[in-house]
Amino acid sequence: MNRRRNALWLGLLAITLPLAAIAAPQGLQPEQLATMDRYSSPVLTPDGAKVIFAKRVVDPKTYKASTALYSKSSSGTGKATQITPAGWSVNSPAISADGKTLYFMSSKNGSSQVYSVPVGGGTPVALTALPLDVGGFAISPDGKKVAITMEAYADCSDDLKCTVDRNKTESERKTTGVVYDRMFVRHWDAWNEGKLNRIYVAPLTAPIKDAKMIGSSLKADTPSRPFGDLSEMAWSPDSSSIVVSARVADRDEPRSTNFDLYQIPADGSAAPRNLTAANKAWDTAPQFSKDGKTLYYRAMKRPGFEADRWQLMEMDLASGKTREIAPKWDRSAENTMLVDGGKSLLTVANDLGQNSLFKINIANNQVTPLISKGTVNNVAVAGNKMIYTMNSLQSGDQIFVSDLNGANAKAITPSASEILGNVKFGEAEQFTFKGWNNETVHGYVVKPWNYVEGQKYPVAFLIHGGPQGSFGNGWSYRWNPQTYAGQGYAVVMIDFHGSTGYGQAFTDSISQHWGDRPLEDLQKGWKAAQQKYSFLNGDKACALGASYGGYMVNWIAGNWNQPWKCLVSHDGVFDQRMMGYATEELWFTEWENGGSVINNAKNYEKFNPVNHTKNWKVPMLVIHGQLDYRIPVEQGLAAFTALQLQNVPSQFLYFPDENHWVLKPQNSIQWHNTVNSWLRNYIGSDSR
């Protein structure tokens, strides 16, 4: 074909094919990660015929996000139909028991309220017109009532007027000083305003302009802060009561993980009844049996430990007698739901670098894996269908429909590759090696997007946070290994001792051992990865981490700095001793260090990065957000000062409007560009 005909042919091809189909391939870029469509919140109609889900889109010019709800046949055929109007930015879809009405929340009119719309589409109608923002809602099984969560001042009891009036008074106050008389003056990214999340109940008759608080004598956040949701609450089948998971908001709250299950009459006629007072650790996620006689829930055994194993529990409500379901299953259950007419539980759990779906027979404790690859969540069952979301190292969440046993799964939303047609993702592979105590440790290697056999590539060595967490087969919009693979780097990630999904003893092993056992795993994992994968260029490598990963980067800077050409520490602990005084959730530092900083100071100094700053030599980028109250910004500033005082090449990236995470799209792009520039400066780039 001559050049003229070739040019004509390419021009015609450009007219007939989508741009993504003919654009040159590339690796994942920060702008694409920040603006790509996201799918979430799937719910099934009661007959299992339709799936309702949320789709979030971002304007690539303004970076403004909006979310709408869509409906699609659970068969996977046909196009999705948009149900809610464009620009409403909705969330929390729920379907009525008869399958005719869709409820959701939106702040379209300036206040977060509940709306309804026919499942087939139509004009939304305001269900609530309350003077306070609605945080969440749950329709009663009989369809006659709705439970609503809203913030109220702790000393306000039944009516809304008390909080409305106090809000007005506070807004008109001329002074700004606030006096506190107990801890939790701030939590996660907000200062304590003296308010609690409370539960109100109202008749399900629009428009709801008033609601009655129930359980007002229980002074607690329901749902919990900062990440609690409606899985912490359950209506009884007869709609007469609600069971909630709550921790009393008293002086011990910052040092306690003692969440109990309380049963509250829906009409507010009696005080809450504590169902799990005997367990001084965490109880949550209540679910009633169909007859209302049995309560299923998740519980931990050890007070003060937020990463203890989640057990599955069964309680006879008449006697209060409890038993553990599948006690020999050494995994931590999450997001459970009853199936098989109440004979089985579905649950997801971290398992060997995956977040898998399991079915557990309640009577005989038999555990059956259903889906064992990727990261599964948001499971729901109706009719003969099961839906769930799944993501992986190759794609963000897709919504799948399958048979009740997970077979014949079909994706009804696109993968990242389908959304970003010209992006090529790096291939991932899991590997194992012998780590601390000669025990098996797992890790992942991700190839650069432009991998060519026989070439070597610079390496981004990522260290996960938690520390009881995992860099498993999942997708992230913050620390995503594909963004490094997209720059031409190979990626190495180690699930060191302390990681979840490998048995509770493995998870427990890091407590009071932050600086030795996981460091040994990282060192041995780095060596094992280089021996196994010849494309890793060990002479051009940078180590990066956030939260505990940031702590480990600070620890590495003084204790294992030889392999690294550069370091990146995001929201990392610099001074363990000051962390023990300045953080908000004190149970965490006290468990991890074997006591309070006052009574056990030597443990805080044992693995304290601040004591090894004289050995800091490797160039480091330090990142921190002003609204991070988990690991306060002074920790990042202090690390940067230690570097500057010793003339170690360093930069400090500061976000005045971000918390422990970087959430705003444009800030996320700046974060990635700054990190990528830092890496390019010290280990180059093979992204061409």
The pLDDT-based confidence of 16 (bands split at 50, 70, 90) is: very low
pLDDT for the residue numbered 13 = 32
The per-residue pLDDT for range 599-651, each reduced to its tens digit, is 999 999 999 999 999 999 999 999 999 999 999 999 999 999 999 999 999 99
| β partners of residue 95 | 102
- Rounded to the nearest integer, the mean pLDDT of the chain is 95
Residue 287 burial (CB < 10 Å; 0-12/13-18/19+)?
A: middle
**What element of type H or E holds 315?**
strand 311-316
Determine the Cα angle at 316 with ends 266 and 139, to 5°.
30
Beta bridge partners of 104: 115
Residue from 116, 547, 569, 687 carrying the catalytic annotation: 547
pLDDT digits (tens, 9 = 90+) for 491-547: 999 999 999 999 999 999 999 999 999 999 999 999 999 999 999 999 999 999 999
Amino acid 15: pLDDT: 34
Average pLDDT over residues 313-329: 98
With a cut of 80, say whether residue 11 has pLDDT above it: no
Rounded CA-CA distance 66/56 in Å is: 6
* DSSP 8-state code for residue 524: H
Structure tokens at 269: 């006629």
Taking Cα atoms as reference points, which of 409, 333, 335, 416 lies closest to residue 378? 335
Question: Could you give the count of Cα atoms lying within 13 Å of 484 in the half-sphere of its Cβ?
Answer: 30
Is 513 in the active site? no
In contact, 350 and 495? CB cutoff 8 Å: no
Task: From the candidates 189, 283, 628, 686, give the one annotated as an active-site residue.
Answer: 628
- Joined together, the tokens standing for residue 543 give 């180590």
Quote the pLDDT of residue 348: 98
> Each residue of 538-592: pLDDT tens digit?
999 999 999 999 999 999 999 999 999 999 999 999 999 999 999 999 999 999 9
Segment 32-74, tens digit of pLDDT: 999 999 999 999 999 999 999 999 999 999 999 999 999 999 9
What CA–CA distance (Å, rounded) separates 57 from 37? 5
Known active-site residue 250: no
pLDDT of residue 687: 42
A 10 A CB-CB count for 424 gives: 18
- pLDDT of 12 higher than 50: no
Burial of residue 116 (CB within 10 Å: 0-12, 13-18, 19+) is buried
DSSP string, 602-615: HHHHHT-GGGGGGG
Q: Which pLDDT score, from 0 to 100, does residue 87 have?
A: 84
Q: What is the pLDDT of residue 5?
A: 33
Domains and CATH numbers, the chain: 428-576+614-683 (3.40.50.1820)
For residue 22, name the pLDDT band (cuts at 50, 70, 90).
Answer: low
Helix (H, G, I), strand (E, B) or coil at 31: helix
What pLDDT shows up at residue 686? 55
Strands ordered across the beta sheet of 125-126: 90-95, 101-106, 113-118, 125-126
Q: What is the pLDDT of residues 418-473, one digit of tens each?
A: 999 999 999 999 999 999 999 999 999 999 999 999 999 999 999 999 999 999 99
Q: What percent of the chain has pLDDT over 90?
A: 94
User: CA 417, CA 396: separation in Å to the nearest integer?
Assistant: 10
Residue 77, classed as helix, strand or coil, is coil
In this structure, are residues 250 and 228 in contact, taking their beta carbons and an 8 Å threshold? Answer: no
Percent of all residues in the chain with a pLDDT value above 70, rounded to a whole number: 96
Decide if 239 is catalytic: no
For residue 460, the model assigns a pLDDT of 98
Q: Return d(Cα 311, Cα 628) in angstroms, integer.
A: 31
* Residue whose structure tokens are 């409403």: 88
Among residues 71, 660, 668, 672, the one annotated as catalytic is 660
Residue 86 reports pLDDT greater than 50: yes
* Local confidence band at 17 (pLDDT 50, 70, 90 cut-offs): very low
In tens, the pLDDT along 210-219 reads: 999 999 999 9
